[in-house]
Amino acid sequence: MNDQAIPDHPLPLTPHGFAFAIWITGLPASGKSTIVAALKPQLEALGLTVEVLESDEVRRVLTPIPTYSEAERDLFYRALAFTGQKLVAHGVTVVFDATASRRAYRDFAKSVIPRFIEVSVECPLPICMERDKKGTYKKGQLGESLTVPGLQSPYEAPIDPDLRIDSTATSSGDAAGQILVLAKAKFL
């Protein structure tokens, strides 16, 4: 991934201090989106303006016919980090709901967004495969997709995330609560 930095921007004040970003990563179907759905209203209840950057939604705009090649993923995650950085620079708290299978993608975002929390949603691959409502793993098993993280493509879990959540033992509401406690301690 190209490590060329995005220009710095001043950190704007929100009602509770400076805006920040939370990247929620994990295998596909590990529970990221369910946690994000519980977290967003909790952050908004604090008076924060919150934008969720969900990778599938953003990908439909940036790469409508995705190939998931390494070059395309590098570009996609740089664009996602850039978008998040711009939003944070304008006082919007950003929640990234994205697998980001390589650490380099998340590390890049962390390098351009100083107020950053990385959350690792951990779930064994067989359980993710059982939970998979989008059919991602089925496509991978049938050979219709050759780049499913955790199946044909490696998923590089965070080495030292700010928070680890075992989604097999923690409800989405409890997980969102843990993230909120961490965000308050670090930034609010």
Query: What structural domains and CATH numbers belong to the chain?
Result: 18-187 (3.40.50.300)
Tokens at residue 62, please? 């940036």
**pLDDT exceeds cutoff 80 at 75:** yes
**pLDDT exceeds cutoff 50 at 95:** yes
As a whole number, mean pLDDT of residues 81-110 equals 95
The residue to which tokens 């100083």 are assigned: 114
Confidence class of residue 9 from pLDDT cuts 50, 70 and 90?
very low
As a whole number, mean pLDDT of residues 64-83 equals 92
> How much is the pLDDT for 15?
53
- Its pTM stands at 0.90
Buried b (16+ CB within 10 A) or exposed e, 90-129: eebbbbbbbbbbbbebbbbbbebbebbbbbbbbbebeebb
Helix (H, G, I), strand (E, B) or coil at 185: helix
> How much is the pLDDT for 84?
97
